[in-house]
């Protein structure tokens, strides 16, 4: 038996050799490891799998013990964390164990499985690290339960439990199926592009191109050629024909982002495409027919622009077949914990970390912040925290200084917000309004007794 230090794994020498028949102690260890439901794998300093690869590991990966002998562990796991942020490599380099590291492995059959990885070093009699042990637990059922529980708050990449957002979620599949033009309005960073992507992905055009043009980012003189293309000789540098976004998006979807920033001249040409399903490329003479679904987005109120004479009325009504109004994040604070979990999971995968969440202090700061940059700003704050955080939990010290300076203005008391209560208040108020204050019908709709509803009305101080 190898001598091991604290936080190291006691693995019989025979498990690093050719068989599991190295004596009574080794045999007993083999029996125990073979009987557990977690996969166990031992590797040497070069990350080559030794003889030990238990039955649970075979079941989870699809590889037999014989197939893995002497192979690199990253050829067996084929995970995104194998080359960057490998917990086993970290353990062998530092001599410190890693606990509950989330990862996704790809089985022999090509199936992705969510696992939780725990690693520990193997030391020789002199205390030097000569290998490592990795224990991996199948989280498929756990992930499935999470999706089931949180499924009502998700639609594609959209996440919200806010009643207004839930109403949008309910109609979005029908909107996507309709093939009508859609106008999405909401403040910058609220997720207009994510909504547009969801509409395309849920639509019959999902297998066709989805192109995006930010009308505010391209000078008006270039935007026309970007949208409609040009023919050879249209201008000095036009050496050959170029297809525009309308042609490239044919039979698919085109997102015209920040359409409120287009000029009146370009608005006329956009109107013609919507009415005639055709356009003439810059310098051309022959109209080109297209079949494109238009999704327009703007952080400005197009109706007010229209009333002020800054947006064509006919174009507005052509675009505004179906309008989706996205509320700012400050009006749906109950979504902040959901979004934090989503972004932490996303950043863990991208950066190979195992951060589990945010501290209570950091959460209260985020819940009290007014978020002028909306969801995008929240994601940026968490990405900044990821760079600085070396622990499993993001704390106040990891948040950006600019955010901390604005999060709790001087003279303003910090208010601890319970996002669940905020959501509950809105749902109960909405139900009571629908039934004109009738508590019997409201309780039935909410799936609770009248006495429970009465207690909640009293506790939440509802009228």
Q: What is the CATH number of the domain that holds 30?
A: 3.30.450.20
Comparison of pLDDT for 214 and 141, the residue scoring more: 214
DSSP β-bridge partners for residue 289? 278
Same domain, 384 and 426: no
pLDDT of 231 reads 84
Q: How confident is the model over 387-407, as a mean pLDDT?
A: 90
Both 51 and 174 in a single domain? no
Q: How many structural domains is the chain composed of?
A: 4
Give the whole-number percent of the chain exceeding pLDDT 90.
Answer: 41
H/E element, 405:
helix 401-407
pLDDT reading at 150 higher than 60? no
Query: Residue 256's domain is classified under what CATH number?
Result: 3.40.50.300
Instruction: Give the CATH number of the domain where residue 455 resides.
Output: 1.10.10
- 177, 250: one domain: yes
Residues 73 and 129 in one domain: yes
Query: Which residues neighbour 103 within 8 Å (Cβ) at sequence distance 6 or greater?
Result: 77, 79, 80, 81, 87, 114, 115, 116, 117, 136
The CATH number assigned to the domain holding 343 equals 1.10.8.60
- Is the pLDDT score of 22 beyond 80? no
Are 320 and 173 within one domain?
yes
- Residue 387 pLDDT class (50, 70, 90 cuts): very high
d(CA 407, CA 414): 9
Distance CA 101, CA 411 (A): 42
Q: What sign results for the dihedral spanned by CA atoms 140, 336, 381, 373? A: positive
Residue 106 lies in a domain: yes
Q: Say yes or no to pLDDT of 236 above 70.
A: yes
Task: Look at residue 334 and tell me if it is in a domain.
Answer: yes
- A 10 A CB-CB count for 422 gives 19
In three-state secondary structure terms, 284 is coil
Give yes or no for residue 29 having a pLDDT over 80: no
451/129: higher pLDDT: 129
Q: What is the reported pLDDT for 152?
A: 61
- Among 407, 427, 447, the domain-final residue is 407
DSSP structure class, residue 152 = G
Averaged over 348-368, what is the pLDDT? 87
What pLDDT is attached to residue 307? 93
Instruction: Encode pLDDT of 287-300 as tens digits.
Output: 899 999 999 999 99
Mean pLDDT (whole number) for 433-444:
79
- Rounded average pLDDT over 7-26: 47
Place 105 in a pLDDT band, splitting at 50, 70 and 90.
Answer: confident
Cα–Cα distance between 340 and 366 in angstroms, integer?
9
Task: Choose among 304, 285, 296: nearest CA to 234.
Answer: 285
Residue 463: pLDDT above 90? no
For residues 105-114, average pLDDT: 84
From 138, 165, 195, give the residue that closes a domain: 138
pLDDT at 17: 42
Say if residue 192 is in the same domain as residue 309.
Answer: yes
pLDDT higher than 70, residue 61: yes
Pick the most confident of 230-244, 268-282, 417-431: 268-282
Q: Please give the residue range of the domain that contains residue 370.
A: 329-407
Q: Do 313 and 391 share a domain, yes or no?
A: no
Is the domain of 402 the same as that of 433?
no
Give the residue, 204 or 140, on which the prediction is more confident.
204
Same domain membership, residue 333 and residue 317: no
Does 6 reside within a domain? no
Taking the C-alpha atoms of residue 289 and residue 247, their distance in angstroms, rounded to an integer, is 9
pLDDT score, position 352: 79
Same domain, 72 and 199: no
pLDDT, position 7: 47
Residue 413 lies in a domain: no
Average predicted confidence (pLDDT) for the chain: 83
pLDDT at 264 over 60: yes
> Does some domain include residue 83?
yes
Q: Are residues 165 and 306 in the same domain?
A: yes
Among 107-116, 408-417, 441-450, which stretch is predicted with the lowest mean pLDDT? 408-417
Least confident segment among 21-30, 113-122, 255-264:
21-30
Q: Mean pLDDT, to the nearest integer, of 9-38?
A: 57
Question: What is the structure's pLDDT at 318?
Answer: 95
* pLDDT for residue 294: 97
58 and 173 part of one domain: no
The per-residue pLDDT for 377 is 96
CA distances from 348 to 104, 106, 118, 340 (A): 11, 17, 16, 12
**pTM reported for the whole predicted model:** 0.60
User: What pLDDT is attached to residue 362?
Assistant: 92
Decide if 144 is inside a domain: no
What are the φ and ψ backbone dihedral angles of 380, each rounded to 5 degrees? -65, -40
In a domain? residue 236: yes
In this predicted structure, what is the pLDDT of residue 414? 44
Q: If you average pLDDT over residues 301-319, what whole number do you get?
A: 94
pLDDT average, residue stretch 305-322: 94
Asked whether residue 184 is domain-assigned, the answer is yes
Last residue of one domain, picked from the residues 325, 357, 390: 325
Helix axes 336-351, 360-368, angle to 10 degrees: 120
């Amino acid at each position: 038996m190898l001598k091991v230090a604290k936080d190291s794994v006691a693995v019989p020498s025979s498990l690093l050799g050719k068989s599991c028949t190295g004596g009574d102690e080794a045999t007993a260890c083999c029996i125990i490891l073979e009987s557990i439901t977690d996969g166990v794998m031992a590797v040497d300093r070069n990350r080559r799998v030794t003889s030990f690869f238990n039955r649970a590991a075979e079941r989870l990966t699809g590889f037999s013990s014989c197939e893995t002998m002497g192979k690199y562990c990253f050829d067996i796991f084929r995970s995104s964390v194998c080359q960057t942020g490998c917990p086993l490599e970290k353990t062998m380099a530092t001599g410190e164990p890693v606990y509950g590291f989330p990862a996704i492995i790809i089985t022999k059959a090509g199936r992705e499985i969510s696992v939780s990885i725990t690693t520990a070093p193997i030391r020789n009699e002199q205390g030097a690290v000569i290998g490592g042990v990795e224990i991996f637990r199948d989280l498929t059922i756990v992930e499935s339960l999470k999706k089931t529980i949180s499924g009502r708050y998700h639609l594609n990449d959209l996440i919200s439990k806010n009643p207004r957002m839930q109403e949008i979620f309910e109609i979005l599949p029908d909107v996507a199926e309709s093939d009508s033009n859609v106008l999405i309005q909401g403040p910058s960073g609220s997720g207009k592009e994510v909504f547009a992507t969801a509409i395309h992905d849920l639509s019959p055009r999902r297998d066709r191109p989805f192109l995006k043009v930010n009308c505010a980012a391209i000078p008006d003189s270039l935007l026309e050629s970007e949208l409609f293309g040009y023919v050879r000789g249209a201008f000095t540098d036009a050496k050959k024909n170029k297809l525009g976004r309308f042609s490239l998006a044919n039979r698919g979807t085109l997102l015209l982002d920040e359409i409120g920033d287009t000029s009146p001249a370009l608005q006329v040409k956009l109107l013609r495409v919507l009415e005639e399903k055709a356009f003439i490329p810059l310098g051309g003479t022959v109209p080109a027919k297209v079949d494109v679904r238009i999704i327009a987005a703007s952080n400005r109120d197009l109706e007010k622009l229209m009333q002020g004479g800054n947006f064509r009325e006919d174009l507005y009504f052509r675009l505004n077949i179906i309008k989706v109004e996205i509320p700012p994040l400050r009006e749906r604070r109950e979504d902040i914990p959901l979004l934090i979990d989503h972004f932490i999971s996303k950043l863990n995968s991208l950066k190979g970390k195992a951060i589990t969440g945010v501290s209570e202090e950091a959460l209260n700061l985020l819940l009290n912040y007014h978020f002028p940059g909306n969801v995008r700003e929240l994601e940026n704050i968490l990405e900044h925290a990821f760079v600085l955080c070396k622990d499993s939990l993001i704390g106040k010290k990891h948040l950006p200084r600019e955010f901390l300076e604005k999060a709790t203005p001087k003279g303003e008391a910090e208010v601890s917000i319970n996002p669940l209560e905020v959501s509950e208040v809105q749902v109960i108020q909405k139900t009571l309004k629908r039934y004109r204050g009738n508590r019997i019908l409201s309780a039935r709709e909410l799936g609770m007794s009248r006495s429970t509803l009465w207690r909640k009305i009293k506790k939440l101080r509802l009228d």
